[in-house]
């Protein structure tokens, strides 16, 4: 799954720039149904994230993972990160149900850039740690996930140290000249491990050169039952989502897209704060709720594919994103309850131009993002009724603004050799507002970054890829101005003098693809410096939390190997496998070294796909991870992580799809069949036990 062929026999998936066509999977299914006895074959797959334009995955010069729409439907992702488990270069961490992050090559949080349809999801208070914001995108509205593994700062800017993860949402496709038309689908799901109930409805229609899509999702997730035989209370949450997309193609060279997306989680418990963790005798909090968390997003995109002097094609995007991270919390034994209102309002505009000049394909452009933070915090003493406004989590009114110019060139040096290289200049205007006596601050970091990759075509089937790339991460409002309680029994005080983090990464890889096999292996080494590190100040709060402060202190070395295989063994059988290994060492300024923070263990996936006819698809697979005993000092202090190390695990799972007719899919899933009790390393909650799920999708 999610390598070159995504583990799906005789199926194809491609993506246009930030706008996949939701008809692709249905068209491929129809083609397969017409040829049920045809040998399974490798189909060309297209991605856009690695080079900002559509490109065959085999020919990309960057390590890239693709999760197709069919993969997403087979997995039945409750949150979008569920689709990334067992994929090349990625490990998934969950602090609480309803939230999750991808760890890419050992890096996490704001060290990984998250994108939705070409627009940054990362905001001013995106933290360098597990966060909940990626789960604020409806997985039922996602058509593909693309992961560039390794720094992607040249094309995408700050935060892409470990890589970039882009969600490409479902969109309608106009049928020019056709009479008015409509179609749609409804999806219903039940899963036993957490008593999940999900309903989704989608309507697509069009007339002439326009098409529109409307969708709505409601999800009710109960308390999780683990393989240890217990229900974790509370771990229940609900989510509701909606989207609307209008596509207008007034001519063969013009396209206008207007897109709205919304997801709301009214009340989600922070489980690791509410249960007894490692090294604790009682939970850190009696109350800790994200109440609510939501994301509202709107974007207008205009593309013109009419060549002129400066470009053969250009894309202009203007977008606005609002993320609310409101909270209600109370420490154990403390009568004071805190309520927070935290909001990021991000406005962005991007201009991308493409130009073919002989053997060169240039991609260049401009980006500007303006992000304003609103934050307040109030305390109520439940014993006395006393009510006070206190210092907010972030300085209210702080701003995080960025501007960038970039250029990238794909140069066909020789028929068998292509060089991809680029440069990006970024400038930041960061204004930290005063917060209950905290002085204001203004910093203006800038950065010049670049990359160079070479791809050798040994023949039609083999590719060798080498690359060197530099990434950076500018300090954001979270780094500079976060105040108050943090996970791991910490209390953060403000920092006002930080510079960008930096990383150099060196890749060497091999890809192979023919009609029945696709395989890849990549080795990498990363050298990171000026890491923004949370350090102990030596002081402790009255409630016993360690006081910490961020600073550019440490460096780190990470190296690893990742790869995968899709092998169509016979007419109806295929084998897929993925493996990941990363090792990291962090070097402190005092010369001491420790293992890297929250580094995933050796992990992987091994599966079969059996498709005896156009009506049936059965996929048994193993998902496994080894022990992780190399722990950083922060890992050992973290109540989510066993200080003796996280035990490994193996789960046995089966997914099956029955399609009695071309418009109906019934999906059955049995997961963790042996009811194994385990926790993914770094997560704040034990994994689900045995889970039986049924999902019905009816198209009309």
The pair of three-digit structure tokens given for residue 10, joined into one six-digit string: 């005789």
For residue 549, list its beta bridge partners: 493, 535
HSE, side-chain direction, 13 A CA sphere, residue 350: 22
Q: Where are the domains of the chain?
A: 24-699
Greater confidence, 496 or 93? 93
* Tens digits of residue pLDDT in 380-390: 999 999 999 99
Instruction: Report yes or no: 219 and 238 within 8 Å, Cβ to Cβ.
Output: yes
Under 8 Å CB-to-CB from 414, ≥6 apart: which residues? Answer: none
Can you say whether residue 598 is alpha, beta or left, with left for phi > 0 and alpha for psi between -120 and 50 degrees?
left
Under 8 Å CB-to-CB from 143, ≥6 apart: which residues? Answer: 15, 20, 21, 22, 69, 72, 168, 169, 170, 171
Distance, CA of 151 to CA of 9 (rounded, Å)? 31
For residue 425, list its beta bridge partners: 405, 448
Nearest to 676 by CA among 631, 640, 623: 623
The pair of three-digit structure tokens given for residue 184, joined into one six-digit string: 């749609």
Strands 313-331 and 112-116: unpaired
Under 8 Å CB-to-CB from 27, ≥6 apart: which residues? Answer: none
Write phi, then psi, for 151 (nearest 5 degrees).
Answer: -55, 135
* Tens digits of residue pLDDT in 628-655: 999 999 899 999 999 999 999 999 999 9
Kind and range of the H or E element at 28?
Answer: helix 24-34
Using the predicted structure, report yes or no on whether residue 22 has a pLDDT greater than 80.
no
Burial class (CB in 10 A: 0-12, 13-18, 19+), 575: middle
Q: How confident is the model at residue 417 (pLDDT cuts 50, 70, 90)?
A: very high
Q: Give alpha helix (H) positions in 594-654.
A: 633-637
Using the predicted structure, report yes or no on whether residue 38 has a pLDDT greater than 80.
no
Distance, CA of 196 to CA of 693 (rounded, Å)? 9
| pLDDT value of residue 463 | 97
Q: How confident is the model at residue 44 (pLDDT cuts 50, 70, 90)?
A: low
CA distances from 230 to 524, 649, 678, 688 (A): 41, 18, 12, 10
Instruction: Report yes or no: 525 and 150 within 8 Å, Cβ to Cβ.
Output: no
Burial class (CB in 10 A: 0-12, 13-18, 19+), 387: exposed
Tell me the CA end-to-end span of the chain in Å, nearest whole number. 28
* Tens digits of residue pLDDT in 273-312: 999 999 999 999 999 999 999 999 999 999 999 999 999 9
Nearest to 465 by CA among 510, 405, 432: 510
The pair of three-digit structure tokens given for residue 186, joined into one six-digit string: 């409804």
SS3 category, 535: strand
Using the predicted structure, report yes or no on whether residue 464 has a pLDDT greater than 80.
yes
Using the predicted structure, report yes or no on whether residue 27 has a pLDDT greater than 60.
no
| pLDDT value of residue 492 | 78
Using the predicted structure, report yes or no on whether residue 513 has a pLDDT greater than 70.
yes
Superfamily, domain 24-699: TonB-dependent receptor, beta-barrel domain (2.40.170.20)
Instruction: Report yes or no: 408 and 437 within 8 Å, Cβ to Cβ.
Output: no
Distance, CA of 564 to CA of 4 (rounded, Å)? 9
The pair of three-digit structure tokens given for residue 570, joined into one six-digit string: 């016979």
Under 8 Å CB-to-CB from 397, ≥6 apart: which residues? Answer: 372, 373, 374, 433
Nearest to 667 by CA among 613, 631, 618: 618
Instruction: Report yes or no: 82 and 75 within 8 Å, Cβ to Cβ.
Output: yes
Mean pLDDT for the chain?
91
- 33-40: list long-range contacts, CB under 8 Å, 24+ apart: 33/614, 33/662, 35/10, 36/613, 36/614, 37/571, 38/10, 39/516, 39/568, 39/570, 39/571, 40/9, 40/10, 40/516, 40/568, 40/570, 40/571, 40/572, 40/573, 40/574, 40/611
Instruction: Report yes or no: 513 and 477 within 8 Å, Cβ to Cβ.
Output: no
Tokens 């993972």 -> residue: 65
Q: Considering only 45-59, 404-418, 671-685, which range has the smallest mean pLDDT?
A: 45-59
Q: 494-529 b/e with 16+ CB inside 10 Å = b?
A: bbbebebbbbebebebbbbbeebbbbbbbebebebe
Q: How confident is the model at residue 6 (pLDDT cuts 50, 70, 90)?
A: very low
Instruction: Report yes or no: 267 and 290 within 8 Å, Cβ to Cβ.
Output: yes
Using the predicted structure, report yes or no on whether residue 546 has a pLDDT greater than 60.
yes
Strands 224-225 and 441-443: unpaired
Kind and range of the H or E element at 480?
Answer: helix 477-481
* Tens digits of residue pLDDT in 584-595: 999 988 889 999
HSE, side-chain direction, 13 A CA sphere, residue 258: 7
The pair of three-digit structure tokens given for residue 143, joined into one six-digit string: 């058509």
The pair of three-digit structure tokens given for residue 394, joined into one six-digit string: 């972030």
Q: Considering only 117-121, 345-349, 492-496, which range has the smallest mean pLDDT?
A: 492-496
| pLDDT value of residue 54 | 86
Greater confidence, 381 or 40? 381
Under 8 Å CB-to-CB from 149, ≥6 apart: which residues? Answer: 62, 63, 64, 65, 88, 89, 90, 104, 105, 162, 163, 522, 524, 562
Using the predicted structure, report yes or no on whether residue 621 has a pLDDT greater than 70.
yes
Under 8 Å CB-to-CB from 607, ≥6 apart: which residues? Answer: 1, 7, 575, 576, 577, 619, 620, 621, 622
Instruction: Report yes or no: 519 and 509 within 8 Å, Cβ to Cβ.
Output: no
| pLDDT value of residue 534 | 77
Average pLDDT over every residue of 585-614:
94
Residue 403 has a CB neighbour count (10 Å cut-off) of 16
């Amino acid at each position: 799954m999610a390598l070159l062929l995504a583990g799906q026999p005789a199926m194809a998936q491609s993506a246009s720039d930030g706008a996949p066509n939701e008809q692709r999977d249905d068209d491929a299914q129809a083609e397969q149904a017409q040829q049920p006895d045809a040998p399974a074959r490798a189909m060309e797959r297209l991605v856009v994230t690695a080079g900002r334009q559509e490109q065959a995955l085999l020919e990309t010069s960057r390590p890239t993972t693709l999760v197709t729409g069919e993969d997403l439907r087979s997995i039945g992702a409750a949150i979008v990160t569920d689709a990334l488990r067992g994929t090349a270069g990625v490990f998934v961490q969950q602090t609480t149900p309803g939230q999750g992050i991808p760890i890419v090559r050992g890096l996490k949080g704001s060290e990984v850039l998250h994108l939705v349809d070409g627009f940054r999801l990362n905001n001013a208070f995106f933290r360098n740690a597990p966060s909940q914001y990626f789960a604020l995108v409806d997985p039922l509205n996602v058509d593909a996930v693309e992961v560039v593994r390794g720094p992607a700062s040249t094309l995408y800017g700050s935060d892409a140290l470990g890589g970039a993860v882009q969600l490409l949402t479902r969109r309608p496709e106009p049928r020019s000249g056709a009479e008015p038309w409509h179609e749609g689908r409804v999806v219903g799901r039940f899963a036993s491990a957490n008593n999940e109930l999900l309903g989704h409805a989608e309507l697509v229609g069009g007339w002439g050169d326009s098409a529109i899509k409307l969708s709505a999702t409601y999800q009710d997730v109960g308390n999780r039952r683990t393989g240890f035989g217990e229900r974790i209370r509370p771990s229940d949450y609900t989510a509701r989502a909606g989207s609307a997309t209008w596509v207008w193609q007034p001519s063969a060279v013009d396209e206008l897209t207007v897109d709205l997306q919304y997801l709301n989680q009214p009340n989600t418990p922070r489980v690791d704060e509410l249960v007894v963790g490692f090294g604790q005798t009682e939970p850190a909090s009696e109350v800790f709720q994200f109440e609510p968390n939501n994301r509202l997003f709107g974007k207008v995109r205009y593309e013109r594919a009419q060549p002129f002097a400066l470009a053969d094609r250009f894309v202009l995007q203007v977008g606005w994103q609002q993320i609310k991270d409101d909270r209600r919390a109370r420490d154990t034994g403390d009568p004071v309850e805190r309520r927070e209102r935290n909001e990021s309002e991000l406005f962005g505009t991007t201009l991308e131009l493409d130009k073919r000049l002989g053997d060169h394909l240039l991609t260049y452009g401009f980006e500007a993002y303006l992000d304003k933070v609103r934050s307040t915090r109030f305390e109520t003493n439940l014993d006395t009724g006393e009510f006070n406004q206190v210092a907010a989590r972030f300085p209210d009114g702080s701003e995080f603004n960025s501007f960038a110019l970039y250029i990238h060139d794909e140069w066909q040096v020789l028929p068998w050799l292509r060089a991809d290289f680029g440069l990006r200049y970024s400038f930041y205007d960061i204004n930290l507002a005063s917060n209950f006596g905290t002085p204001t601050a203004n910093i203006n970091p800038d950065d010049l970054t670049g990359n160079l990759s070479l791809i050798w075509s040994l023949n039609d089937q083999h590719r060798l890829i080498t690359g060197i790339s530099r990434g950076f991460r500018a300090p954001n409002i979270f780094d500079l101005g976060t105040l108050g309680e943090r996970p791991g029994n910490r209390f953060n005080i403000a920092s006002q003098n930080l510079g960008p983090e930096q990383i150099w990464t060196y890749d060497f890889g091999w890809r192979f693809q023919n009609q029945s096999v696709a395989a890849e292996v990549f080795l990498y080494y990363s050298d990171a410096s000026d890491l923004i590190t949370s350090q102990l100040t030596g002081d402790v709060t009255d409630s016993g939390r360690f006081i910490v402060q961020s600073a550019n202190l440490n460096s780190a070395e990470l190296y690893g190997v990742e790869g995968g295989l899709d092998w169509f063994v016979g007419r109806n059988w295929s084998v897929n496998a993925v493996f990941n290994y990363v090792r990291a060492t962090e070097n402190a300024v005092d010369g001491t070294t420790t293992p890297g923070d929250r580094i995933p263990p050796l992990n992987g996936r091994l599966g079969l796909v059996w498709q005896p006819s156009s009506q049936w698809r059965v996929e048994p697979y193993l998902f496994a991870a080894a022990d992780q005993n190399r722990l950083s000092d922060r890992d050992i202090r973290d109540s989510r992580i066993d200080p003796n190390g996280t035990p490994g695990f193996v789960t046995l799972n089966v997914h099956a799809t029955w399609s009695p007719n071309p418009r109906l899919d019934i999906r059955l899933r049995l997961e963790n069949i042996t009811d194994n009790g385990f926790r993914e390393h770094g997560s704040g909650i034990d994994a689900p036990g045995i889970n039986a799920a049924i999902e019905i999708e009816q198209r009309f």
